[in-house]
């Protein structure tokens, strides 16, 4: 078994087999990816203070709680000054980077707003803060403008690399086109960003072979970073009616761990996030993800009164602790797995620095 893992490069068949492994085989996989991770990116975990900028969204994805057609959502937009205060706070507390995520719109008001946030954030931190954007599909011009204004990284999840499954998860038409999403990833690469993508794991209609293909897709497009996590149902979405097809939450969680573990083996020097969805399904879920290969954590720093309106899925943690206590508790639980937080470091992708700089 260990031999199979060490037999580089893993084939799609090997990957699928390892995704189905249980017991000792599964443990051997986790132990191996942990080792690969320590050898390549060490035991440091980088932070991105997550800012959920706005839940206004023009898209209508069947799985997402903030989809356009969900009329029960109170839509909000953080004000420029609110965002800048969060950036200042993150910088002062040593987060090193922020990630600005938002529902998707390409209006001029929105693209201008992001631009202004980027320029001011870089200015007030003397270029000290790293910035990841996760604001969906935009034109090449917009991606370029944001890059020039200071965005360092861009996370755009492909959601699934199976075009067939993608079509089941989204309305038909140009605004939810699989091809356009792949093209957007290419544009981001060309523009110069550290590029991240990711998928949802445990979706209805998703097979192990599709997940193996997802990993091969990420390797083939040579990503610098990845954010992926379990699919979690939301009762105000069309996909909810298929909830009977889902594996139990614990199975989806373990499958997500195996995806992280295998991606670390396939791409030893990229940044991999331990996502909020992992924490939603299991207590200490992010720490478990770190123990099998993740090296980035994105603590939510959005003002508490807005967090409940950014519900992509149910039971998303709204955090009982204040930001400072959350970091303390994170630091302590990471110590138990012999990891430390890379305070005051941007934590750029080593893979990117080696290949694209």
State the residues that interact with ligand SAH by CB under 6 A.
Answer: 63-64, 101, 103-104, 134-136, 156-157, 159, 200, 231-232, 234, 277, 312-313
In the complex, minimum distance from the CB of residue 277 to ligand SAH, in angstroms, rounded to a whole number: 5
Q: Which is nearer to ligand SAH, 277 or 341 (CB)?
A: 277
Contact partners, residue 203, CB within 8 Å, separation at least 6: 63, 160, 165, 169, 231, 239
Q: Which is nearer to ligand SAH, 84 or 249 (CB)?
A: 249
Q: Which is nearer to ligand SAH, 157 or 288 (CB)?
A: 157
Q: Which is nearer to ligand SAH, 53 or 265 (CB)?
A: 53
In the complex, minimum distance from the CB of residue 173 to ligand SAH, in angstroms, rounded to a whole number: 16
Q: What whole-number distance in Å separates Cα of residue 56 and Cα of residue 102?
A: 8
The neighbouring-strand residues paired with 131 are 98
In the complex, minimum distance from the CB of residue 14 to ligand SAH, in angstroms, rounded to a whole number: 26
In the complex, minimum distance from the CB of residue 44 to ligand SAH, in angstroms, rounded to a whole number: 25
- Bridge-based pairing of strands 49-54 and 130-134 is unpaired
72-80 contacts, C-beta under 8 A, 24 or more apart: 72/236, 73/309, 73/311, 74/309, 75/309, 76/306, 76/309, 77/53, 78/51, 78/52, 78/53, 78/54, 78/302, 78/303, 78/306, 80/113, 80/116, 80/117, 80/120
Q: What whole-number distance in Å separates Cα of residue 354 and Cα of residue 357?
A: 7
Q: Which is nearer to ligand SAH, 110 or 313 (CB)?
A: 313
In the complex, minimum distance from the CB of residue 7 to ligand SAH, in angstroms, rounded to a whole number: 31
């Amino acid at each position: 078994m260990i031999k199979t893992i060490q037999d580089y490069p893993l084939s799609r068949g090997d990957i699928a087999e390892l995704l189905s492994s249980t017991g000792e085989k599964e443990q051997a996989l986790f132990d191996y990816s942990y080792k690969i991770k320590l050898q390549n990116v060490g035991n440091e975990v980088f932070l991105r203070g997550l800012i959920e900028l706005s839940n206004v969204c023009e898209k209508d994805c069947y799985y997402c709680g903030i989809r356009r057609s969900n009329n029960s959502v109170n839509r909000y937009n953080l004000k420029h000054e609110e965002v800048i205060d969060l950036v200042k706070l993150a910088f002062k507390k040593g987060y090193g980077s922020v990630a600005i995520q938002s529902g998707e719109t390409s209006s001029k008001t929105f693209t201008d707003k992001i631009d202004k946030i980027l320029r001011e954030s870089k200015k007030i931190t003397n270029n000290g803060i790293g910035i990841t954007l996760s604001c969906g599909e935009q034109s090449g011009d917009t991606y370029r403008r944001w890059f020039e204004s200071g965005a360092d990284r861009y996370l755009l999840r492909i959601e699934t690399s199976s075009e067939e499954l993608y079509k089941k998860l989204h309305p038909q038409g140009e605004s939810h086109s699989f091809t356009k999403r792949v093209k957007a990833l290419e544009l981001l690469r060309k523009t110069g960003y550290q590029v991240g993508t990711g998928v949802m794991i445990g979706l209805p209609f998703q097979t192990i072979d599709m997940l193996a293909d997802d990993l091969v897709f990420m390797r083939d497009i040579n990503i610098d970073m990845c954010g992926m996590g379990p699919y979690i149902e939301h009762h105000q979405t069309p996909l909810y009616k298929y909830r009977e097809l889902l594996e139990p939450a614990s199975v989806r969680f373990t499958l997500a761990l195996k995806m992280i573990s295998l991606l670390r083996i396939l791409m030893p020097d990229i940044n991999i996030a331990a996502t909020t969805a992992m924490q939603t399904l299991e207590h200490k879920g992010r720490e478990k993800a770190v123990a099998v290969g993740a090296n980035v954590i994105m603590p939510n720093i959005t003002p508490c009164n807005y967090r409940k309106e950014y519900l992509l899925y149910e039971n998303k943690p709204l955090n009982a602790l204040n930001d400072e206590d959350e970091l303390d508790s994170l630091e302590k639980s990471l110590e138990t797995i012999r990891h430390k937080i890379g305070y005051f470091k941007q934590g750029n992708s080593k893979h990117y620095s080696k290949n694209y700089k």
